[in-house]
Amino acid sequence: MSGYDDELDGLDGVDAAGAEVLDLVVPGTLDAIRVDRVISLLTGLSRSEASEMVAAGAVRVNERVVTKGSTALETGQHLVAVLPSPVSGSVEPDDAVAVDVVLDDEDFAVVNKAAGQVVHPGAGQLHGTLVAGLLARYPQMQALSDEGLSEPLRPGIVHRLDKGTSGVLVVAKTVEGLVSLREQLASREMGRTYLGMVEGHVAEERGVVDAPIGRSTRTPTLMAVRADGRPARTGYQVLERIEKPQAMTLLKLSLDTGRTHQIRVHMATIGHPVVNDPRYGHRRDRRLGEDRFWLHSRTLRFVHPRSGEDVVAGAVPPPDLVALMGEVKDL
């Protein structure tokens, strides 16, 4: 059930908030029935798929994760299960989807993703994704899925950004581009820097958060620092401490790894959540949307797949983020 494994362990930028969640109070008609059968009955998933969900830690009963499909439910219990994303089918090109191309090359394209835009289809959104717009503009990307090099719903996708994150990401158009860029990402040769506004004043001028990240045992739709998680390392540097309208710190952030929600989890862990983060933060700002937080992918650095030359591409923060920066300039 590869789709669900990827939902758990996805690359940087998977938006778990977009996952479909089964959330209900167990009715009397389901009393004493094992949890994997209940999930199968209610979702249409096979029993084996439901069992894999349970074993993967995606199901909790009364806020406790259950890992055995044979666990019998009781009337009145609170059942929450994170459902797998669809992995079959294909994406229909959609020229109505806006694609802001920063750098266009035979082997790749660097695009400036808008906040609120989902990179590829998933359980939370099947249409209007960035991939649909890319396929309309670059139909050759479809061949990467047809040849089995990319998953059907993610042709050419090298890495991702959360739905609420804006900024640059690179996608591949050719086999050479896909192989090279994936290798650079896996070997940490691809440089990625972000701008992030966090709550409060960060005391140190620079630092590194080195803490493993895994799926939260309390809330499966969230990530958390866990001793048994995957290695994760985020560097940060203070650019500006802001007093008004509230105490905030603008940071330059760099990723040594790319775990799901990595920056958001790490900043919350050190007591400085990303401003307006609806899942890991506290403080809200009416100038940003409900699911929009202050995080922007500022620059990408990688080696050209064919020429070997260094490629640097970036995008300045959009107006909604600039509005919270006060007098900060030259970003």
The pair phi, psi for residue 94, each rounded to 5°, is -140, 105
Among 162, 277, 310, 330, the one annotated catalytic: 162
Could you give the CA distance from residue 80 to residue 65 in angstroms, rounded to a whole number? 9
As a CATH number, domain 21-82 is: 3.10.290.10
Residue 200: closest CA among 237, 254, 241, 252: 241
26 contacts 34 by C-beta, under 8 angstroms: no
| C-alpha distance from residue 7 to each of 4, 279, 300 (Å) | 5, 17, 24
277 is catalytic: no
Task: List, in order, residues 6 or more apart from 52 with CB less than 8 Å away.
Answer: 1, 4
For residue range 177-190, list pLDDT tens digits in order: 999 999 999 999 99
Residues of the chain with pLDDT under 70: 1-19, 85-89, 123-125, 220-221, 283-287, 289-290, 326-331
Give the type of residue at 182. Answer: R
- Tell me, yes or no, if the two domains 21-82 and 101-322 fold the same way: no
| Beta-carbon count within 10 A of 98 CB | 10
Could you give the CA distance from residue 6 to residue 8 in angstroms, rounded to a whole number? 5
Could you give the CA distance from residue 69 to residue 72 in angstroms, rounded to a whole number? 8
| C-alpha distance from residue 236 to each of 95, 126, 150, 197, 220 (Å) | 38, 35, 32, 11, 27
251 contacts 196 by C-beta, under 8 angstroms: yes
Residue 88 has what DSSP assignment?
Answer: S
What local confidence, expressed as pLDDT, does residue 17 receive?
A: 41
Question: Which residue carries 């294909």 as its tokens?
Answer: 90
Could you give the CA distance from residue 113 to residue 98 in angstroms, rounded to a whole number? 9
Superfamily of domain 101-322: Pseudouridine synthase (3.30.2350.10)
pTM value? 0.76
Could you give the CA distance from residue 116 to residue 137 in angstroms, rounded to a whole number? 20
What local confidence, expressed as pLDDT, does residue 330 receive?
A: 57
131 contacts 161 by C-beta, under 8 angstroms: no
What local confidence, expressed as pLDDT, does residue 216 receive?
A: 82
Token pair, residue 26, equals 């167990």
Provide the edge-to-edge strand list for the sheet that holds 78-82.
Answer: 21-25, 78-82, 59-61, 64-65
Residue 177 has what DSSP assignment?
Answer: H
Parse the chain into domains and list their residue ranges: 21-82, 101-322
